[in-house]
Structure 1
Amino acid sequence: MRTSKRTQILEAATRVVEREGVKSVTFDSVAAEAGLTKGGLLYHFASRDDLVQAIHQHLADEWEAQMVAAAGKPADLATPEERLTAYSRISSQSANRAELLLMLEGSTTPGLAAPWDAVMERWAPSLTTDDVDNQVALDRFIARLAADGLWLYESLNTEPLAPELRRALAERIAGALDHEGT
């Protein structure tokens, strides 16, 4: 199946972010990376802001698709443990600089955070004050923090962990979610 021009543009923009940062996303830089004209980009995105918002949504959608594949079902059909296990496993595989930079940018711009927040809410929700005495909820959140830490470690380090070590860590985090018999 051929990649759509819109997807081609978003993947090119992601490579620009990966290499040069979010501020380097311009119609000229993305057009050059995608092998298209600036007019070709303007056909799909009316402004740089529209393009950046679409990059956030595109990557959040890809991230969620990976979790659906890992869980074997969408979030609304998975148990909390299945969702967080998929989140933990995918977090250890998908670390890249572009996602980190975009998530950091999104953390200070509510409109850009929305796609990421929606995925997080479905797959690895935060704690509430009602959870303070809920050992299972606290353990789930600790597992989420560990998965987030592994993802951040992999995003920031120029020398990534060996794949077998990364897998072992992800499985250890996922294994911490098994509360059967507790």
Structure 2
Amino acid sequence: MGRPRSIDRDRVLDLAERIVREEGATALTFDSLCKAAGITKGGLQYCFGSKDDLIAAMADRWLKDFDAEIARHVPPDGNGVDQARSYVTVSARIDEASQTKMAGMLVSLLQSPEHMGKARGWYAEWLKRLEPGSEAERRARTAFFAAEGAFFLRSLGLVEMDQAGWDRVFDDILKLL
């Protein structure tokens, strides 16, 4: 008897992201992902449960990578202002395709109270770091909100902005810090 086949979650998540990036969020179905990954629908359901859970896993991985990138730019003795500066710097470097993908995933996840709670928790952790005890910390909190607003406005297609415009907006946000 052979060893049971195992599913590589990261490979499946990579393929799911590729489908969203190349074909759009509506193209991401269990059937399309099973075909791309060469796995059964039962195997995919065993690994992720539901499509919402798959999208949550994609978002969790993206946020974990995002947080790790921010941490790489914060000095060892960095304070909330340093963390906000890193947050804005890293946010400015996110390409438009990644923004659209992440915003689409977040919008779909926020329809679920469980996933809404996770998103609120992630933001709550950030806002704890930006308690406004000084003028610099108030500016850091404002920069954080400005970066998030720019991210969502562009990602959701509510404003059109080329890369040069995006860079100018984030240069202005960084001046707050």
TM-score between the two structures when normalised by the length of structure 1: 0.69
Match in the other structure for 2:140: 140
1:50 is aligned to 2:67 = no
Contact 1:60 1:115 in 2 (8 A): no
Match in the other structure for 2:38: 36
SS in 2 for 1:71: coil
Cα–Cα, structure 1 residues 121 and 100, in superposed 2: closer, same or farther, change >3 Å? same
Contact 1:17 1:24 in 2 (8 A): yes
Structure 1 residue ranges without an equivalent (≥5)? 178-182
Cα–Cα, structure 1 residues 41 and 108, in superposed 2: closer, same or farther, change >3 Å? closer
Report the count of equivalent residues: 165
Between 1:153-162 and 1:134-143, the stretch displaced more is: 153-162
TM-score between the two structures when normalised by the length of structure 2: 0.71
Structure 2 residue ranges without an equivalent (≥5)? 1-6
Paired letter, 1:161: D
Deviation by residue 1:54-100 (Cα, 9 ceiling, x = unmatched): 12211221221221223255xxx631111111111122222521110
Cα–Cα, structure 1 residues 27 and 149, in superposed 2: closer, same or farther, change >3 Å? same
Match in the other structure for 1:150: 150
Contact 1:127 1:141 in 2 (8 A): yes
Cα–Cα, structure 1 residues 118 and 71, in superposed 2: closer, same or farther, change >3 Å? farther
1:104 is aligned to 2:107 = yes
CA deviation after TM superposition for structure 1 residue 125, in Å: 4.8
Aligned sequence identity (%)? 21
Match in the other structure for 1:169: 169
1:20 is aligned to 2:21 = no
Match in the other structure for 1:92: 92
SS in 2 for 1:101: helix
| 1:49-88 matches, cutoff 5 A | 49-71=52-74, 78-88=78-88
Contact 1:87 1:123 in 2 (8 A): no
Deviation by residue 1:105-145 (Cα, 9 ceiling, x = unmatched): 233323223444344333345988xx6x9644442232122
Paired letter, 1:174: L
Could you tell me how far apart the structure 2 residues matched to 1:78 and 1:127 are? 12
Q: CA RMSD in A?
A: 3.3
Cα–Cα, structure 1 residues 152 and 30, in superposed 2: closer, same or farther, change >3 Å? same
Match in the other structure for 2:124: 121
Contact 2:84 2:141 in 1 (8 A): no
Paired letter, 1:81: V
Match in the other structure for 1:5: 8
Cα–Cα, structure 1 residues 119 and 82, in superposed 2: closer, same or farther, change >3 Å? farther
